[in-house]
Structure 1
């Protein structure tokens, strides 16, 4: 692929203040994209935007809770106003649960995980689609998870939300396949990020999951996940649609 294959394209990356999102925002910018850096953490979003601009790229930060429809609308409006287009959406933002088994999941944990990990990407996808449909083109990439593929990689709330992401990837891949819009996802395995997991090691969920977590293997760098996201959004993947791509060092093959 050309190192400038995203020149003049507009890209929204959520959760772009750190981890996979940060690496993804930097990777798109290095290939010429104009990036909307979205994150709940203002410091992180500002730092990544500054890093992109220092390297000669173009970026703007939007700070807010993506679970709020108004924030999704603001992101789209910012991309259209600042960069005059809407070419790629990367739904990456997410949080981990406490590895709780179903009987131990609180209402608060369930609602928070579903809102941030499933409802937020739905709201933003719904907001960008009319503009992509008008343009007759677009690429949407989700960060799913190993927990989208199996029941042994996380707690009940996270697993349910990420299985939902798999469905949210495949449904528009079918309904918009003839409108020039592709929808895919990566399913990261172990990755070096700052996401924290707070779990009671004596609880049912962590005890049941522990034997399976030994299959994670060597963790990936965030840049490895970012490279897969950029590929799926690129013309090189022009006939790839509706795919959940494991980027997990073979964990899903065990």
Structure 2
């Protein structure tokens, strides 16, 4: 043993001779997490910069392009709900105002930190499995110290969720057929509801509702909201994964309808 040995190999620890004593497939969880996150990042990255097939049936706007504020959005009448004022460029996504903040919101999310710390950085990869790093500084140095900005990205995420809600609501009105309900409306609606569940179940939201209060009895309204957000917070991990799936499925549905691969089934109208 060297004088600089640390962790499970440090002086005074039992010399086991193997990395760990786990006999189960402990590596499956971090491997599945890494695969799931990679699928979303690759799919989302390709779609965000594809700059086509983002608006369907003159009313369905994919969340990957919302709000659509680039000049190129004008190619699809009705897609630019808030005007077009950003220049077109292959390296600038049409939703350049929202995507960076949404990415940072998820990247700094408490659950996602645990997920990619374990799956990509092996810090640690699983319970009772030591990490391969010699030193540990936590989130006290750059760039991980920036994780503390998560609470501010939460506020932007709320604004983006409001925009997504607006997109889902206005999609019920067709420019020529008036009020209609199609399968795409249900897809957008379910997606935005689940996005709200993920956003409001955030730990930062829980702190906003009930943080810095000495007596809950003096703030019954905030206490009520805090209890509801706390109930959602217990499912934050599930909502984190579910919304990754619904975002892909919603975008895929809009893209297939826009390409003419499938036809949106009208339920009403």
For the pair shown, the structure with the greater C-alpha radius of gyration is 2
* TM-score normalized by the length of structure 2: 0.30
Using CA pairs below 8 Å that are at least 6 residues apart, which structure has the higher relative contact order? 2
More helix as a share of residues:
2
TM-score, normalization by structure 1: 0.31
